[in-house]
Every structure is written in C-alpha cells, then in structure tokens.
C-alpha cells in the first residue's frame, strides 16, 4: 500500500492518477453534452479546487469561461454558525448558467451558502460540480449535479485538498491512516 507523510500524519493511497483522470473525463463529457450552447461560466472555489478545475477544464470543449472565487469565513451572529461570503467575483452572472467547481462536499454547508449568495445575483441556473462527495456526511438537501467520486467519511488530502496547508500538490488522493 502506497503511503505518504503529510506534516505529522500518515496517509494511504485512495485514488490513483489514472482513476482521477478517467472520472474527470466522464464528468467533463456530461457537462459538454448537458451545457452545449449555454455558454456556461465555471466558478472554481479556491483554494481546494485548483487542481480539479485545471484538469476538468482541459476536457471541456464547449464555449465557456472560468473564474475563481474565494470564500471568506467569519463567525455569524446567529447560533454561532460560520458565515461564508464570496469574494473575487467580478463577472456579472445574471442570466448565465453557472457551474460551481468544488473540491469536496462534506456537510454541504459551504455549497449551500454559496448557492444562497450567488442566487441573489440572478443567474439563469446554478449547477454544482464537485471532485469528491462524502454522502454519509451530507446534511443539506442539495442536488449535486456532477460528482467525480463518492468517498467514505474519512479525512483525505491531495489533489488540491490540504492538511493544515500541506499536501495540496499531491497528484493523487490519500486517506488518513488511523
């Protein structure tokens, strides 16, 4: 079993480069056929999605644009929840088909807040493409349109995802060894 040490923890290989490549091509093919003629605007959520976004976009062959957003977290006033605000979005999205490009959907709260925030800008439609989904962790009623992989509810690193800022550069996905 291939393992890697990131900072002070050991991780073992979950998804190989080849598996990732094949799954991303499948997602791209579906987007190419679903959104043909819709001139979509892809919105990649930094930092985690940078690698997925780069590889996905190489397989997108319909006219489209890509932009990048970041979510700033701050403590909300209500019920101690964290509020996430979108920044970096300079494009107008009214009337457009927007595809959010995410690294991972865990509880789903991040995506839910992003959807809420983008909806106020009147897009024609918002779709969600995520590299990873943890179905067992999902706590929101969300329609995730495109998923490259469903994975167990364990902590993972690599392919854009970090452990304390490290491991984003790994070209494969690794899971924490308990």
Q: Which stretch binds Mg ion (CB under 5 A): 5-13, 48-56, 80-88, 129-137?
A: 48-56
Residues 116-155: x where in contact with ligand 5GP by CB under 6 A, - otherwise, as a string: ---------------------------------------x
**How far are the Cα atoms of 75, 78, 103, 113 from residue 81, in angstroms, in the given order?**
6, 6, 22, 12
Q: Judged by CB under 5 A, which of 11, 69, 103, 127 binds Mg ion?
A: 103
Establish if 105 lies at the interface with ligand 5GP (CB under 6 A): yes
Give the binding-site size for Mg ion (rule: CB under 5 A): 2
Establish if 157 lies at the interface with ligand 5GP (CB under 6 A): yes
Question: Is the Cβ of residue 40 or residue 48 nearer to ligand 5GP in the bound state?
Answer: 48
Q: Judged by CB under 6 A, which of 6, 98, 104, 128 binds ligand 5GP?
A: 104
Establish if 9 lies at the interface with ligand 5GP (CB under 6 A): no
Question: Is the Cβ of residue 103 or residue 145 nearer to Mg ion in the bound state?
Answer: 103
Strand partners, 83: 74
Q: Which two tokens stand for residue 110?
A: 């991040």
Q: What is the maximal distance between C-alpha atoms in the chain?
A: 49
Q: Which stretch binds ligand 5GP (CB under 6 A): 12-20, 28-36, 117-125, 160-168?
A: 160-168
Which residues sit at the interface with ligand 5GP, rule CB under 6 A? 48, 103-110, 155-157, 161-163
């Amino acid at each position: 079993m291939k393992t890697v040490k990131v900072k002070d923890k050991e991780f073992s290989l979950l998804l190989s480069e080849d598996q990732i490549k094949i799954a991303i091509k499948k997602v791209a093919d579906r987007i190419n056929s679903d959104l043909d003629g819709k001139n979509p605007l892809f919105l990649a959520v930094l930092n985690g999605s940078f690698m997925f976004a780069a590889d996905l976009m190489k397989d997108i062959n319909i006219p489209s644009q890509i932009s990048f957003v970041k979510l700033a977290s701050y403590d909300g006033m209500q019920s101690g929840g964290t509020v996430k605000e979108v920044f970096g979005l300079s494009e107008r999205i009214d009337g457009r088909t927007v595809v959010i490009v995410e690294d991972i959907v865990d509880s789903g709260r991040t995506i839910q807040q992003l959807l809420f925030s983008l909806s106020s800008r009147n897009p024609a439609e918002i779709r969600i493409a995520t590299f990873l989904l943890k179905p067992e962790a999902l706590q929101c009623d969300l329609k995730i349109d495109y998923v490259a992989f469903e994975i167990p509810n364990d902590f993972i690193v690599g392919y854009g995802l970090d452990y304390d800022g490290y491991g984003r550069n790994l070209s494969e996905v690794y899971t924490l060894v308990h």
